[in-house]
Amino acid sequence: MKKRLRVLIDTTFLLPALGVEVEEEAEEAIPLFRKIDVYYLEVGVLEAIWKILKIVGLENFERIRIGLEAIRKTYNLAYPPAEAYVSAVEIYKRGHKDYIDALYYTTAKVLNLKFLTIDEEFIEFLKKKEYDIEDTVITPRELKIYLSK
């Protein structure tokens, strides 16, 4: 029996639990989470709330509270080591101006997790700058293929 895949999910995958619609590709990946060990970052929750405040406002805050409780009960909280914070600064200095993206990637790398993202622009940046994506980054399509084996 193969070992369960451990996956750090991008903020996009937290949003549906908080009542926000996301890209179909992300929505379709969420049912696969029962087959893997899912990790999230607290900074991802903060980023999700920022997005909600911009697009939804405060009208449905009860839904957000329920979603936050579900995330905390269902997923595992990952703690970025100091090394991940420092490495994320390097990615930022090399031209990717979303520090949270960089922190997700470096946390996954240091903790030996896969990083699930639909952010093709970030993936291309990592490739261009010759960061290891083969062992660290996974897309929903690749996750589906991996789990079907």
| CATH number of the CATH domain containing 37 | 3.40.50.1010
For residue 106, pLDDT over 90 is answered with yes
Answer whether 123's CB lies under 8 Å from 137's CB.
yes
Look at 1-15, 30-44, 83-97 and tell me which has the smallest mean pLDDT: 1-15
Is 108 part of a structural domain of the chain? Answer: yes
- The answer on pLDDT for 2 being more than 70 is no
- Domain membership flag for residue 1: no
What is the number of structural domains in the chain? 1
Residue 46 domain-assigned (yes or no): yes
Instruction: Using the structure block, give the residue that is written with the tokens 């009960």.
Output: 73
Residue 67 lies in a domain: yes
Q: What is the pLDDT of residues 44-103, one digit of tens each?
A: 999 999 888 887 666 667 888 899 999 999 999 999 999 999 999 999 999 999 999 999
- Domain-embedded: residue 11: yes
Q: Is 110 a member of any domain?
A: yes
Domain that holds residue 116: 6-148
